[in-house]
Amino acid sequence: MRVAAPVLASVLTLVVGSVFFASLGHDPLPTLYAFFVEPLNSLNGLSEWLLKASPLILIACGLAAGFRANVWNIGAEGQFTMGAIAASGVGLFWPDPESVLLLPLMFVAGMGAGMAWAAIPAFLRARMNTNEILVTLMMTYIATLFLSYLVHGPWRDPAGFNYPQTALLPTAALFESFDPAYRLNPSIFITVVAVFVMWLFTDRSFLGYKMSVSGAAPLAARYAGFRESAAVWIGLLAGGAAAGIAGMAEAAGPLGQLSSQISPGYGFAAIIVAFIGRLNAFGIVLGGLLMSLLFLGGEGVQMTLGLPSALTRIFQGILLFFLLAADFFIFYRVRLVRPARDTHALETA
């Protein structure tokens, strides 16, 4: 049943999508084809598909580690942004722009910044029991505005015609594409490693075991003496690290610089990916590929058919809605109860 729900949700999303296309005056079948198949018809399309899936999968792996322990990090978007800022800062201002250490340093800076941004809600939750959902979400806006300040202000490229963006990163600070014709680059291996680490952590390690006990039965975790605060810290830091690395890989990969639009919403979409993947490493890979296709297809039909760009977000929303609904109907039974006004009414089964 846990596998059935995402499949059912995907099918229902397609059905509602068709109705939606029809209502916009487009023939549903060709539109769906243009949305979901055409993007993958070319080598470039496949490269873009993996390029966009990579950060989604990476972030979702980090988030799922926390979600399994009921630690709800909703602010991966902010941690992603901070990771991109810190990594770009190193790339732009490191004294030796040709150093081979530049990329590894940016990796560490991106990861560290993502973790630091996540450490604030972790500290507040562990020490003062604040709600991490609200704090992580609100800190996303701080990060976005901070980025906006940097690219409009101190870090703006003096030769950039006043565009809100930094100078291009030096070559040593970039992931070189596998093939100059396509944008896919070696940062995808980071994601491959992350998936494996995620699997090892959740399925095999004792630390992951403790986290799953904290999530499934908090009283049992307390009974066994597992620290609740440890689950909070690990859960949030794992998400922050993954998002920070993803932000670094985005800046050092396809973008090559920092701009005010660093993310098309990867941090939020990754939450959906984690849930579609049932918080499982391999499920997340599939979920990430699906979500990436939604991004690609949305861009595709926007260009070829002139459909609105909000379509991607709408599809994401519909998918999550159906997934949650399918879960609800699988795990609960709905029962209609008549109001007590009717004196003869017993409970209706």
Binding site for another protein (CB under 8 A): 200, 204-207, 209, 212-213, 216-217, 219-220, 222-227, 340-341, 343-349
Minimum distance, C-beta of residue 61 to another protein, in the bound complex (Å): 18
State which residue, 127 or 204, has the beta carbon closest to another protein: 204
| Minimum CB distance to another protein smaller for 161 or for 344 | 344
- Tell me, what amino acid is at 127? R
Q: Min. distance of Cβ 283 from another protein in angstroms?
A: 17
Nearer to another protein, 153 or 339 (CB): 339
Closer to another protein at the Cβ: 127 or 222?
Answer: 222
In angstroms, what is the minimal distance from the CB of 229 to another protein? 11
**Minimum separation from the CB atom of position 327 to another protein (A):** 15
∠ CA(176), CA(178), CA(183), 5° rounding? 75
Q: Which of these, 249, 290, 251, lies nearest to 270 by C-alpha position?
A: 290
- Provide the phi-psi class of 185: left if phi over 0, else alpha when psi is between -120 and 50, else beta: beta
- How many other CB atoms are there within 10 angstroms of residue 264's CB atom? 16
Phi and psi for 219 in degrees, rounded to 5?
A: -70, -35
Distances (CA, A) of 90 to 86, 170, 242, 248: 6, 11, 18, 10
Q: Which is nearer to another protein, 333 or 341 (CB)?
A: 341
* Shortest separation between residue 238's beta carbon and another protein, angstroms: 15
Residue 93 in contact with residue 106, Cβ under 8 Å?
no
Rounded to a whole number of angstroms, the minimum distance from the CB of residue 202 to another protein is 11
Q: What is the residue whose two structure tokens read 């490269």?
A: 47
C-alpha 12/C-alpha 7 separation (Å) is: 9
Is-contact 88 280, C-beta < 8 A? no
Q: Rounded to the nearest whole angstrom, what is the least distance from the CB of residue 341 to another protein in the complex?
A: 7
Nearest CA to 3 out of 269, 329, 334, 327 is that of 327
- Give the nearest distance from C-beta 347 to another protein in angstroms: 5
Cα–Cα distance, 154 to 92 (Å, whole number): 12
CB atoms within 10 A of CB 2: 12
Nearer to another protein among residue 43 and residue 330 (C-beta): 330
Token pair 């620290």 is found at 227
Min separation Cβ 335 and another protein, Å: 12
Q: Which is nearer to another protein, 62 or 208 (by Cβ)?
A: 208
Based on CB atoms, which residue is closest to another protein, 162 or 343?
Answer: 343
The terminus-to-terminus CA distance of the chain in angstroms comes to 24
Which of 229, 261 has the CB closer to another protein?
229
**Burial grade of 134 (CB within 10 A; 0-12, 13-18, 19 or more):** middle
